[in-house]
Amino acid sequence: MADIVQVIILGLALGGVYALMASGLTLVFGVMRIVNLAHPIMIIAGAFVSYWLFTLYGLDPIVSMPIAAIVMFCVGIIVYKLIFEREAASAKYSEMTVLLTFAVAMCFDGLLGTAFSNTQRITSPFYATDAIFLGDVFIPTGQLYAGIASLTVIAALVAFLQFTRFGYAIRATTQNRDAAQLMGVNVGLVSIITFGIGVGLAGAAGALVSFVFSFFPAKHWEWIAILMSLVVLGGMGKLAGAIIGALILATLAAFVSTYIGTTWSTMTFFLALFVILLVRPQGLFGDPLEES
């Protein structure tokens, strides 16, 4: 029984981090229908921001989360203005964004690889290798703090969407872009700010990733399918679905890693993506009409 509890704890702790990694991706898709394949490389970029702040100035990665988020928010604004804004009126915008974001990912991969090489790096605050013991169960403090920080950021995001005027505008645009525009919502401004927020969330997630996982620029290719499986399982554009999907799949992956082997844990996400697309393409919380 203790082994099962242990696995669940580890899965939920990592699930919180995965939820934050996926939240920006699903938010951007919900508002603008941008399938952002560059989201994982933005997470890597955020990880590098926190890594260098820790290496050069000793700044704790959790403390540097806001800095990484602000830096990547600014990057997101620039990328959107340069690449996505001019194509927003296209009838095939979603299809085009797949190719555009793939190109952005390739460019950022090359830039980061050139600047920092593809050497694996990890931030090492004092708590990264500690653990809290509760009888026969232990909780890695690094994963615990990362999970708590992730859920705190997500709670702040939910509060922003639910209780602020701009949050209302974002939710209205998510539900019906044309109707929101007719009601006076500046969907252009909403789009650019939301894209910036999505990339900023990637930066915040990167700060946590920097000490939970080892990372290097090319690692983002491994995360594309993982993040897409989380978003598709919950329902594209559904923030609550992405969070629940992350917790479920991370826990399942932890069981697979423990009882089958660590090399098979990543396969959990790929298999889940394959099955959900076959059985329920709209995801757990998606609108059935979206299936068509």
Q: What is the DSSP letter of 214?
A: -
Q: What are phi and psi of 193, to 5 degrees?
A: -70, -40
Global confidence as pTM: 0.91
Separation between Cα atoms, residue 43 and residue 123, nearest integer Å: 14
SS3 138: strand
- pLDDT, one tens digit per residue, over 140-170 is 999 999 999 999 999 999 999 999 999 999 9
DSSP structure string for 16-81: HHHHHHHHHHHHHHHHH----TTHHHHHHHHHHHHHHHHHHH---TTTTHHHHHHHHHHHHHHHII
For residue 288, count other CB atoms closer than 10 A to its CB: 9
- pLDDT, one tens digit per residue, over 249-281 is 999 999 998 888 887 888 888 888 888 888 888
- pLDDT, one tens digit per residue, over 208-254 is 999 999 999 999 988 888 898 888 888 877 888 888 889 999 999 99
pLDDT tops 50 at residue 292 = no
Contact (Cβ atoms closer than 8 angstroms) between residue 26 and residue 241: yes
- Beta-strand ranges (E) seen in 105-202 are 131-134, 137-140
SS3 268: helix
Q: Which residue has the tokens 């500046």?
A: 186
The pair of structure tokens assigned to 221 is: 């290719």
